[in-house]
Each structure stands twice: as structure tokens, then as C-alpha cells.
Structure 1
Amino acid sequence: MKNQLYKVFFCAVFLLTFDCTVSFAFEPTDSTYKVAGFRGSHIHNYKSEYWMAAGNAMSKNFSGYSTAAVWIVSFFQDDGSSQMVFPSDGKQYAGISFSSVDYAEAYLSKFDNSGIKVWLQVEPGNADMITLINMVLNRYKQHKCVVGFGVDAEWYRNNGQYPNNNYGIQISDAEAQAWEAAVKSVNPNYSLFLKHFTESHMPPKYRGNIIFVDDSQQFSNLNDMLYYFKKWGSTFASNKVVYQFGYQADKVWWSKYSNPPKALGDAIRNAIPNTAGLFWVDFTITDVFPLSITGIESDPAGAPGAYELKQNYPNPFNPSTTIEFTIKESGFVTLKIYDLLGKEVATLVNEFTAAGKHSAIFNSAALPSGIYIYRIEAGGFTAVKKLVLLK
């Protein structure tokens, strides 16, 4: 139950949202514009065709609803930073790290021609929000599918101290107003959404044209969910509200419906008049919209059958060597080098990585000769091997 969330330890996988559903610009005075779709990201390794088919299947449950998606473009890290899903522009930014490749571009290019509208969502951590807004929107503003920017406020200034984290801090009125202005400075038709599972983390008074998204979970049944969702809707009655649902924590009861997306969605929109969006969360999306919906499951390029960490080559080496590894499913991967005392001497990989075969180069120019250990962690898989540096 939503009000109990502070008392219950959430499994991080249920909270790492999101969120892939929606991109649109609607004004509070618009009583007709409605969207439905999904929250998603590259980490599941589903092809864009699947996401589009799932989004269309979701919106078709509701007459008059258009297809939309929330696409995650940055993920909260344990050190409080926000890791973008695209490479750096060469500059240094406090609280922001980058991926080696752009994981969003190919999806957005496909979405451009599908009619799906997309919000680009960040998990901001300690990063400066205005910097994130400008960085993300200026990078992807050429895509016609993009219609706005979203903030998963659970991760805004989150202290990262599981299980006693603060689930972010409250967004002030001044911050909300400045963020909305920054979004609209890139494109006046763009909209801003703010997401959390408790009203107290939202701006106390400022509303503007912000869309307020509730992603609560851990309900006992549908009526329990509606009770808390209605509180959200009434708190932000002057604005459009959106609901993200379908979490694993609630599957014990929603799975009993013959068509869970429609059953939950109909109940929400009938109970809450300012509902403007309905999004199924990515964690369970294949339970309600099977991969076979398109006949295309995941990206076959380099799709592996197992996890593997290979022996480095050359070995012995001086000064550099290559380490190859294969991961079965997209996810967060770390590949680190240690000396024989267990001291970390280098980090080669520390980011969300697509499924498939990969390689990393270890340059040991600053290290003395000796035996070192390299260790990979990915999707529950761990492996350790030795390498020999001879100078």
C-alpha cells in the first residue's frame, strides 16, 4: 500500500523504473487527449518492433486513446550519480556518467515512424536537473516522436542507503517551475512530467502544466490500488495525472483478470476523471503482451546462449591486453581488475550493457609487473580469472 512504502523495504528491481510509455504534450484544459502505452528502455533487449506492438496493443484497450511511451535515458547509480544511455560530449559534469554507445538512438528512430509519442525519463540522482534537461532534449530533439521530458523523483537526491533510503527529496515549487521552463525553452510544445509514489515528494503548490505520474505498487487488490490512485488524482485535480502499473509485487491479484491492462485501466479512468495516461511497466510487460505479438522477440545480433568470461590475450602481456566476455541478457555489468591483496586497480566496465559479445582493453602502464585478478559481475553471473603482467 502506498502509505506503507516508507515502512517496507522495496526490492530495487521493482523500483528501477521505468518507465517507457509516453511522449506527448497536453495542456490541463484539454479534456479529450488521452494516451496509453508502456514504460521501457534498452536494457530488456526487446526489438523496437516489439515495443511498438505492445504499445499499440495497450492503447487499443481504450477507445480514443493514442499510443505513448516513457523511455528511460538515465539510470541512478549507487554512488548517487546518473548514468546516461549515450556517450559523453567530452566535457565533465558533476554527478553524471556516460555509456560507451548510444542505446536510445536506434529505438527513437524507429519510434519516429510509428506514431508513438515518447517522454524521455531520467533518474537524476545528484545531477543538476537543468543540465540533464538540456543535455537530453538537445541530443534527441530532432526526433518527432519526442514530446517531453520526465523526472523519476524517487531518485532525485536519493541517498542510496538501502533499505533506509529517502526515496528522493521533495521537489520545491521553484525547482518545478524552473524545470518546466527549461523543458519548454527547448520546445514550447514539450511537456514535463514528475513521477513518484507519494504526493509529499511533489512540489507543494506549483502546478503549471506539469503532468503528475503515480507509480505506486504493493496493493492488496484492485480496490486498494484505486483508493490510493484516487488520492493522487484529487491532490493534482487541476492537472493531468498518469498512472504506471502492472508491477510484479501486484501480480498475485492482477494476473487473475483475463485482460489485466484493460481491467486495471478501465477501473482507473472510470474512477479518476483527470486521468490522461495509462502505462504498463516494463518489468512484466511480456506477461500481458507476449514477445510473440510481433513474431520478433529480441535483437538477434550477437544474442548469446550463456554468460562467459574468456582468458585475456595476450597473456602474459605488456602494457595492454584484451578481455572478452559474453552476457546473455542486457543489464548492468562490472568488469574490474584487482591485485593479489584484493585492492581494486582498474574498472574496465561499469554500465548497462546490451546482450552479446563484448571486449575491453586493460592498459597497465601505471602498474608494476605481477599477477592480477579480473572479475566480472552481470545478471547474477560472476567469474574470476588471472592475468600476468611482465615488464
Structure 2
Amino acid sequence: MKKDYKKYFFAGSIPLILFIILFYLYPVNEGPPQSKHSEGVWNNCNFTKPAEEWSATAKRFGGKNSVIDLVVAQSHENELTYLPFPFEKNKNIYSYSQTDQVEPYLKKFDEDGLKVILSIQPNNADVADLIDIILTRYGHHESIIGINVDMEWKLTGNPCHVSDEERNLWLNRTQKYNPKFKLFLTYFKDYTYFPGDAEDVVILYDGERATQTVLMKEYEKLASHYTSAGIYTGYSSSTPPTASYDSIMAAAPNTKYILHIV
């Protein structure tokens, strides 16, 4: 008797077809999703503690997504900006070290796979000039993800404010060294002090001296105007000093960076 091979072919294909359908409906588990934010510490130009300690502390907060905000141009009371590496003084910019204190830290952070934000407190110095000085020297490091301008110490032009024109100038100058670099802007006031939203710009809220309930409300209002935001937490003057992860994310789900004061 001649067998109906066509019949057997379709009968045998049914399990295969079902398997393919189920495969696409229930994809293979690829492991836990990557965290959408980076968490770590703020280092205010403190090169007395070994780089290993800063790295370990950042990892304690952020694990594989740990970040360090490293101040490399520091504001002083005389309204000058000081650099922790040799530099021939230029009007408002001075050096306070005969050796490069930053380089060994960045080498360690590169080795440990950290992300590093290089922060500047400009005072009366030109921000674009500082960006050039810092990134010409350190822009090659794999750990660096961008430049942060602390607007509290911006005294040029409209003090403590950043216009859209300044934002574009600083971002373009930063990305001249690496198109992937971001521009971070830090302040504790409302959104009117900041420029308009833009790609590769991250707004960091630096509020303190209040309850976390008040701080989260202020952070929520500021972050609502921007695509990417972040926050500093851990000030002893706040109550409690550190905001919880849940409260931060509830206030601003677009939080990309959480920086702890330690």
C-alpha cells in the first residue's frame, strides 16, 4: 500500500510549528536587565585618600555601573580656579600642585572599569577654556564620560545661569574630544537657571539643608523638564542625610545618575 507522505509531513510539522510560535512568544531568558542608572560617589578634589578607596566605595554603591564625579578644577574664595596639576597661570586659572594628582586616579578608574565625570567649578574662568585644558590632558582615558559644570561657581556672563547658547558651545567643545561625551550641569535651583533640554545633556540636582520630602519635591519639579537627570545625596545637613533609592526613582524615573557625598 502506497503511503501518503504528504500527510505524514504535515503531521510531523505541527510540533515544529508550535515550537517556533512558543519560542517567539516566550523568548529565552537573557539574564537580569542592565540597570538604567549609574550610582557612585562625589570626590571634591580630594586626592589624599587612595584611588583604591574611592574605587571600592563607588563599586559599593553602583557595582558594575559605578561612577565617580571627580572635581578637577576647584573654586577658591579669591574667585580664582585652581588645578591639581602643573599649569602656567592664565588670568583666572592657577595650579596648586607641582605634580599631576589626577592622572594616577584616572589610571586606576580605567583599570577598574568605572565611569568618571570630570567636574569644574569655573568662578571667573572661561568654561570653554577649562574644558579644553581638562580634556586635552585627560580626554583619552576610557573611564571618562563627560564634563560637569557646577553652576554655583559660574561667575561669568549671567552668574549661576546657563543659556542655550552656552550649553551648545560647551557641549560642542566637549564632544570635540569624544562624540560620546556628555555635558552635565549642576545646581540646586529651579529649571529657570538651566538651559533647555538637549541630547547628551544631563541635569544634576544638588539640593541640601532640608527634609528629603522637600528635596524630592524640588528634584521632581526640576527633573520633569529634562530627558536625563541625576541627584547628589548624602549631605549631613539634610534630614535624613541620604535619600532612599525608591524615593529618588519615584520622584524622577528619568534619573540616570545618583551621586553620594561620602
TM-score bracket relative to the smaller structure: 0.7 to 0.9
Distance in 1 (CA, whole Å) between partners of 2:74 and 2:61 is 25
Matches within 5 A, 1:314-329: none
Distance in 2 (CA, whole Å) between partners of 1:234 and 1:137 is 31
CA pair 41-105 structure 1, distance change in 2 beyond 3 A: farther
From the CA coordinates, give the structure whose radius of gyration is larger.
2
Partner of 2:150: 152
Partner of 2:168: 177
The one-letter amino acid of 1:229's match is: Y
Please say if residues 177 and 206 of structure 1, whose CA atoms lie closer than 8 Å, have aligned partners that are also in contact. Answer: no
Matches within 5 A, 1:192-231: 192-198=183-189, 199-203=191-195, 205=196, 207-220=198-211, 222-231=212-221
Matches within 5 A, 1:218-257: 218-220=209-211, 222-236=212-226, 239-250=227-238, 252-254=239-241
Distance in 1 (CA, whole Å) between partners of 2:99 and 2:91 is 20
Q: CA deviation at 1:94?
A: 2.4
CA pair 169-42 structure 1, distance change in 2 beyond 3 A: closer
Question: Over aligned residues, Cα RMSD in angstroms?
Answer: 2.1
Partner of 1:96: 93
Q: CA deviation at 1:208?
A: 3.4
* Structure 2: segments with no counterpart, 5+ residues: 1-33
Give the secondary structure class of the aligned counterpart of 1:79.
coil
Please say if residues 148 and 191 of structure 1, whose CA atoms lie closer than 8 Å, have aligned partners that are also in contact. Answer: yes
Kindly indicate which of the two structures has a greater share of residues assigned to strand. Answer: 1
Partner of 1:272: 252
Please say if residues 118 and 147 of structure 1, whose CA atoms lie closer than 8 Å, have aligned partners that are also in contact. Answer: yes
Sequence identity percentage: 26
Partner of 1:120: 118
Please say if residues 83 and 98 of structure 1, whose CA atoms lie closer than 8 Å, have aligned partners that are also in contact. Answer: yes
Number of equivalences = 227
Partner of 1:137: 135
Distance in 2 (CA, whole Å) between partners of 1:111 and 1:158 is 32
Please say if residues 42 and 103 of structure 1, whose CA atoms lie closer than 8 Å, have aligned partners that are also in contact. Answer: no
The one-letter amino acid of 1:128's match is: D
Please say if residues 118 and 145 of structure 1, whose CA atoms lie closer than 8 Å, have aligned partners that are also in contact. Answer: yes
Please say if residues 188 and 207 of structure 2, whose CA atoms lie closer than 8 Å, have aligned partners that are also in contact. Answer: yes
Please say if residues 192 and 211 of structure 1, whose CA atoms lie closer than 8 Å, have aligned partners that are also in contact. Answer: yes
Distance in 2 (CA, whole Å) between partners of 1:98 and 1:44 is 15
Distance in 2 (CA, whole Å) between partners of 1:32 and 1:54 is 18
Q: CA deviation at 1:158?
A: 7.2
Partner of 1:73: 72
The one-letter amino acid of 1:70's match is: D
Kindly indicate which of the two structures has a greater share of residues assigned to helix. Answer: 2
Give the secondary structure class of the aligned counterpart of 1:43.
coil
Distance in 2 (CA, whole Å) between partners of 1:174 and 1:158 is 14
Q: TM-score if structure 1 supplies the norm length? A: 0.55
